[in-house]
Amino acid sequence: MPLSEHEQRMLEQIESALYAEDPKFAHAVRSTSPQVHYKRRIVKAAFGFVVGVGALMAGLVINEGTVTIAVSVTGFLLMVVCCVWALTSWKRMTGIGNEAAAGGDGRQPGQPRQPRQSKPAKAGFMERMEERWRRRTEGD
């Protein structure tokens, strides 16, 4: 939804006030790409993953009983969390998965839903596969 003229003027006034008040900050915000932020997050996640591998290996080397288990589990959990963090950053950086964020069906948040086409209530597995194959070969 485009901004009205009044809203555009107000936005320009806010922007000029920001430049007048703190030009360094305004320049830094304007020049930084969001992809740079996501790349930094991926690097941090990779570093955390390596630390997790180190903790897992240290837990395997230590012969102290419960300390071994705690260090190993902590290292493994750190590895999993860093993998999830890196994957979400990668998806946001590359734009993968925007269909789900847009509403699940590829529409933008402000767009109305299209009526669904009627399908048989209980189509069998083979019917669904045949339908997909037909759509794929027809280029639809």
Domain regions of the chain by residue span: 34-96
- Long-range own/partner contacts, residues 35-40 (CB < 8 A, 24 or more apart): 35/93, 38/89, 38/90, 38/92, 38/93, 39/89, 39/93
Mean pLDDT of the residues in the chain? 80
Confidence of residue 24 (pLDDT cuts 50, 70, 90): confident
Place of tokens 């993968």: 96
Backbone Cα Rg of the chain: 25
User: Is residue 119's pLDDT more than 70?
Assistant: no
Q: Who wins on pLDDT, 56 or 26?
A: 56
Contacts of 51 (CB under 8 A, 6+ apart): 75, 78
Query: What percent of the chain shows pLDDT beyond 90?
Result: 25
Out of 23-32, 57-66, 118-127, pick the least confident.
Answer: 118-127
* Cβ pair 75, 59 in contact under 8 A: yes
Per-residue pLDDT tens for 56-106?
A: 999 888 887 788 888 999 999 999 999 999 999 888 888 877 655 555 555
Q: What's the predicted TM-score (pTM) here?
A: 0.51
